[in-house]
Amino acid sequence: MRTFRFASRNKKLTVVAVVVVAATAIGVAIAAWTTGGSGSGQAQAGSAQSLTISAGTPSSSLYPTTSADVAATITNPNSYPVHVSSIALGAVTVDAGHSGCNTSSVTVTSPQLNGGSGWAVPASGNLNVDLATAVSMDNTANDSCQGATFTVALTATGASG
């Protein structure tokens, strides 16, 4: 019978040894080192480029006691879209062939853009705009104004958007 106890004791020792080895392996797996770090990164902002505005082809003509459209193309050289919130109309000049035209008979009205919402000019793109009834001619216009091309100074205000 003692042999039986000895065999039972060996089994117990074997089970205990297996448990100790397994616990040690788990402890080694849990004992992995962790680490972290800190430092800095860098980003740089670009610089906005100005929009350009060039004359377009108006959809209507100007006559005494009427209004007409002012057509223009807005060019955005930036790599992001620009939302134009307003365009102010300024001085009116006449082409050299009609220098006798009295430009004082021509007035401008800054329009409300696109129903008040403005326009989005795409990144690196163009937008054709037609400013409805933005220029008017009164009945003091002289005959030298017939066939004249009027240039209206335009200033746009916008922001990235």
Compute the distance between CA of residue 98 and CA of residue 106 in angstroms, rounded to an integer: 14
Compute the distance between CA of residue 47 and CA of residue 32 in angstroms, rounded to an integer: 48
pLDDT given at position 95? 97
pLDDT per residue as tens, the chain (161 positions): 455 455 555 566 565 555 555 555 555 556 689 999 999 999 999 999 999 999 999 989 999 999 999 999 999 999 999 999 999 999 999 999 999 999 999 999 988 777 678 899 999 999 999 999 999 999 999 999 999 999 999 999 999 98
User: What H or E segment, with its residue span, contains residue 24?
Assistant: helix 2-30
Compute the distance between CA of residue 140 and CA of residue 102 in angstroms, rounded to an integer: 8
Compute the distance between CA of residue 129 and CA of residue 94 in angstroms, rounded to an integer: 21
Nearest-5° Cα angle at 139, 138 to 145: 85
pLDDT given at position 47? 93
Q: How far is CA 56 from CA 71, 75, 77, 102, 128, in A?
A: 5, 12, 18, 23, 7
Decide if 131 contacts 70 (C-beta within 8 A): yes
**Strand locations in the chain (E):** 52-55, 66-76, 82-94, 106-108, 119-121, 125-137, 150-160
pLDDT given at position 7? 54
What pTM does this model have?
0.72
What domains sit in the chain, N to C, each tagged with a CATH number? 52-160 (2.60.40)
Query: How far does Cα 160 stand from its chain's mean position?
Result: 4
